[in-house]
Structure 1
Amino acid sequence: MKKNLLYQEAVESILSRVQNLQVHNPPLWGQMNATEMLLHVNLCNQEIFDATAPARRTTFKQYLLRIIALYIAPNFKKGIKGDIKKETVGRIAETEFDKQKAQFIELTKRFPQHKSSITLPHIAFGNISTNEWGIALYKHIDHHLRQFGV
């Protein structure tokens, strides 16, 4: 299976795993609860569809990180820091779990049908191709599902 969220097979794999996620699944690492994790992923994924940011200069460090993270490392490392604007600890009640899970499913299903280029620069990898976005999106979601044992 291609581990790229732009492919239907990858989406189906992710969706079958998220069905096993429950509100009280404890995290294996990190501070987010399951609802906060879903909100975090939803914010990141929604940003792809709302992208309006112009391309920026990609640094050599970003280029190297992209190669390692997307093509060499099998998974994203535990405990890596992301965009501070997408931190969700304490920002949502656990009672919103079902709503966040439904939004997660809806957003995830949209990726294979998304035919336009994704031009949003990645916060850690700089300017990346649409295909690389598909890989990064899959690895990001996989990272958080593994965080909750699913």
Structure 2
Amino acid sequence: MTNNIFEKSITDSLINRVNQLTPTTPNQWGKMHVAQMLAHCNVAYETNYENKHPKPNALVKLMLKILAKPTVVGSKPYKKNGQTAPQFIIKEPKDFEVEKARLIQYLQKTQELGEAHFHDRESHSFGRLTKEEWSTMFYKHLDHHLRQFRV
């Protein structure tokens, strides 16, 4: 199991890492600039807290559950330059400070709502997830991208 994002100390450490980023922090791999990466990471929270992204239809959701879910909620780290869902692709320029503030707010909200809020909750793409799967999904994705930018 990865670090438990519902623990305040873990969330605080992630926020500390986010705060180490600057608008000019270079990436080690990939095409996104740092502000785009922050916007990309925000999508994981937008799908839970905002009605901003359409839910996949039943067939697509089944395919995601079978093919992508084991990678997303499993313990194995993501590969560099891996594929992502269309709503996570950020090509347009983004405002670094806005995206950074949004991400920090989402992290704080997730930690404050806690694991009981997420346990057995329906995911946008994968069906019901345990609190451990939610924690792994949130932590692993953000950690992957913070490592992409050396923080």
Return the TM-score normalized by structure 1: 0.79
Which letter does structure 2 place at the counterpart of 1:105? I
Tell me the equivalent position of 1:26.
26
CA contact (8 A) 1:29 1:78 kept: yes
Displacement of 1:55 in angstroms is 9.6
In 2: Cα distance, 1:38 partner to 1:27 partner: 12
* Counterpart-to-counterpart distance in 2, 1:54 and 1:83: 10
In 2, Cα distance between equivalents of 1:66 and 1:84: 16
- Taking every aligned residue pair, what percent have the same amino acid on both sides? 25
Distance 1:49 1:40 in 2: 15
1:15-34 deviations in Å (ceiling 9; x for gaps)? 11111111111110100000
What's the offset of the Cα at 1:53? 5.0
Task: Please name the residue that 2:82 is paired with.
Answer: 80
Name 1:36's counterpart in structure 2: 36
Amino acid at match of 1:111: T
In structure 2, C-alpha distance between the alignment counterparts of 1:86 and 1:104, rounded to whole Å: 14
| Residues 110/65 of structure 1: CA separation in 2 closer, same or farther (3 Å cut) | same
SS at match of 1:32: coil
Structure 1 counterpart of 2:122, which letter? T
State the TM-score, normalized to the length of structure 2. Answer: 0.78
Whether the 8 Å contact between 2:8 and 2:111 is mirrored in structure 1 is: yes
- Cα distance, 1:56 vs structure 2: 5.1
Q: Offset at 1:4?
A: 2.7
Distance in 2 (CA, whole Å) between partners of 1:72 and 1:44 is 18
After TM superposition, list the pairs within 5 Å mapping 1:1-150 onto structure 2: 3-50=3-50, 53=55, 62-63=65-66, 66-67=69-70, 70-73=73-76, 75-89=77-91, 91-93=92-94, 96-114=95-113, 115-117=116-118, 118-122=121-125, 126-131=126-131, 132-150=133-151
The alpha carbon displacement at 1:3 in A equals 1.1
Aligned partner of residue 116 in structure 1, secondary structure: helix
How far apart in 1 are the matches of 2:10 and 2:108?
10
d(CA) in 2 for partners of 1:101, 1:87: 17
Listed as ranges, the gaps of 5+ residues in structure 2 are none
Q: For this pair of structures, how many residues does the alignment match?
A: 143
Misfit runs of 4+, over 6 Å: none
**In structure 2, how many angstroms separate the alpha carbons of the residues matched to 1:3 and 1:133?**
11
